[in-house]
Amino acid sequence: MNLPITFAEVGFAEPWWIQILKAVIIFLVGFTLVPLSLMLDRKLMGRMQMRYGPNRVGPFGALQPMADIGKLLFKQQFRPRTSVGFLFAVAPAISMVCAAASLAIIPFGDTVNIFGEKVGLYGVDVSIGILFLFAFSALSVYGLMLGGWASGSKYSFLGAMRSAAQLISYEVSMGLSLIGVVITAGTLSLTGIVEAQSGMWYIVPQFIGFLIFLLAAFAETNRPPFDLTEADAELVGGYSTEYGGGRFAAYYAAEYFNLVIASAVAATMFFGGWMLPFGIDPPRFVDPIVVLVKTILIVCFFIWARTTFPRPRYDQLMSLGWKILLPLATANALVTAIIVVVTH
């Protein structure tokens, strides 16, 4: 006799209202971190270049990101006469949605009891783990491609082609750099990877993988010195040349969103996530703070690199990805697999 399948039997452990609450919190946290990271970028970069940075709007310039967002959102929307209207408007939204969805897999802590319900401090703990992130990372390329093609501008189209080649190239190296972590932990679940680092953070055995991931993250997030998709000296403004107002703000926010996500992934995969060193076990409410502090420190490293290193040529960028990072990442994965098999 065939009985109807209940929600509990297919793995829906959390009530629907908790899932909705999680989705709202993820968007709130994500869209709060974006202006904060933008402010940190401008203030810290200013200090490194011996200037003040934003210091007029609000106390110590703290409201400058809100002023910038307000200015962009209230600008008149426009598009070139040769553009494809629907795709021109949808492209920035694709980048934003893919970035927000990627934040859902970042674990900010273990499970806790809230109103008698067992709730995980993450959006979703999928069994495919980091593959979920790369799926949305691959989809975000379409946001840049469609934006450049639908603009009806040769400069935008060239920027879109360049962004596709750059992102696809470095996504291969980034994926392979995390294979060593997955093999060592024996699971694809991000919470499982964090728990496997209770004895030692993976920054120690997977230091080469961390360096490869970090370099690939610069290219994946279009951050200087690897911001060749928006190289103003060559492409005017790259794929976003014809964008202004709120649509440009969406692309701009997606870039900082991806910066925060890449930093959070590095903190999760290599720096123990919510784990503290030396066996320190704080209360559960401290776990999200630990993850946020580690993420912010890695964001600061990205900002330091932006102010320090010059932008390479595009052929040098592609050579680094295919001729150096890809063989290193492959060798790191093979060596890790051999060590794990021999030692177990």
Cα gap 334→166, rounded to integer Å: 25
Confirm whether 137 is domain-assigned.
yes
Confirm whether 34 is domain-assigned.
no
Confirm whether 223 is domain-assigned.
yes
- Res. 73 pLDDT band, cuts 50 70 90: confident
Confirm whether 24 is domain-assigned.
no
pLDDT for the residue numbered 1? 43
Confirm whether 84 is domain-assigned.
yes
Q: Is the pLDDT of residue 62 over 90?
A: no
Tens digits of residue pLDDT in 280-328: 777 778 888 999 999 999 999 999 999 999 888 888 989 998 999 999 9
Tens digits of residue pLDDT in 126-151: 788 788 888 888 888 888 888 888 88
Cα gap 101→27, rounded to integer Å: 9
Q: What is the 3-state secondary structure (H, E, C) of the chain?
A: CCCCCCCHHHCCCCCHHHHHHHHHHHHHHHHHHHHHHHHHHHHHHHHHCCCCCCCCCCHHHCCHHHHHHHHHHCCCCCCCCCCCHHHHHHHHHHHHHHHHHHHHHCCCCCEEEECCEEEECCCCCCCCCHHHHHHHHHHHHHHHHHHHHHCCCHHHHHHHHHHHHHHHHHHHHHHHHHHHHHHHHCCCCHHHHHHHCCCCCCCCCCHHHHHHHHHHHHHHCCCCCCCHHHCHHHHCCHHHCCCCHHHHHHHHHHHHHHHHHHHHHHHHHHCCCCCCHHHCCCCHHHHHHHHHHHHHHHHHHHHHHHHHCCCCCHHHHHHHHHHHHHHHHHHHHHHHHHHHHHHC
Confirm whether 55 is domain-assigned.
no
Confirm whether 181 is domain-assigned.
yes
The average pLDDT across 228-233 equals 69
Number of domains observed in the structure of the chain: 1
Percent of the chain with pLDDT over 90: 24
Cα gap 101→21, rounded to integer Å: 15
Confirm whether 261 is domain-assigned.
yes
- On average, the pLDDT of the chain sits at 84
Task: Give the residue numbers spanning the domain of 129.
Answer: 72-343
Model's pTM, two decimal places? 0.87
Which one-letter amino acid corresponds to residue 19? Q
Find the length of the chain: 344
pLDDT for the residue numbered 167? 85
**Do residues 74 and 63 touch, judged by C-beta distance below 8 A?**
no
